[in-house]
Amino acid sequence: MNRRIDAVVFDMDGTLFDSMQPVTRGFIDTIVEAGGPRYSPAQIIASFPRGPSDRMLEHLLGRPVTEAERGAYHRRLDRAAAAMCPYPGVETALGALNHAGLRLALFTGADVVSLELLLARTGLRERFEVRTGGDEAGRPKPDPAGITLTCARLGVEASAVAYVGDSEHDMLAARAAGTFAIGAGWGSLWHDGHPAHVIVRSPQELLAAVQDLASPRAGRDARPAADAV
């Protein structure tokens, strides 16, 4: 597959860092405090396709969420994420991609408040010139709306963008948006059955895969991805 890649858009949770424990614990404790049932972490994860935190809380509580409950979730998430770090190799890969002339952005199903606090906790916020939350997209993955919006904010055609994510919905959304779907094989929700164009097993492999596809302006001639499916 021949493409010119001018920008790389990343999923966040499970792709840049493992945030499963802070996120699930934040939801569980907030729901219990609000008078709802005590869900298991697996039940919280199964609700991720609902979209950003407001929609998840409303679904899990079975009623509209209050401003106080929304704030309680974000405070718990922030505290739980205090010691969280990017996956090994992620920071190096982001720096190398940027140094190669590729623009970097992020689209996550999480809401803007959550994405900003998690990126701040992990020191990754300034790596991305565009950051889009699920509450800005209108429709959750696998709908391509959020990726399409992020490409528009970058001013880059979707066909010149690679989207990196760890879930099936990430790959479906990437394909539907017309971007090149790269599976983060190191990610929390990755399974080899997900419909990626290319699977990479580490951030170091990601760098090589993107450079193989990158436009001449990024320092490489575009050529077919050997692992494309």
Query: What's the chain's Rg over C-alpha atoms?
Result: 17
Told to judge if 11 belongs to the known catalytic residues of this protein, a careful annotator would answer yes
According to DSSP, the residues that pair with 8 across neighbouring strands are: 104, 162
- Tell me how far apart the alpha carbons of residues 54 and 76 are, in angstroms, rounded to a whole number: 15
Cα atoms found within 13 Å of the Cα of residue 65, Cβ hemisphere only: 21
CA 161 to chain centroid, in Å, comes to: 14
Closest CA to 85 of 19, 175, 8: 19
Report how far residue 165's alpha carbon sits from residue 172's, in angstroms, rounded to the nearest whole number.
10
Cis peptide before 142 (omega within 30 of 0): yes
**Catalytic position from the list 11, 13, 166, 170:** 11
What HEC string does 46-77 produce?
HCHHHCCHHHHHHHHHCCCCCHHHHHHHHHHH
Just list the catalytic residues.
11
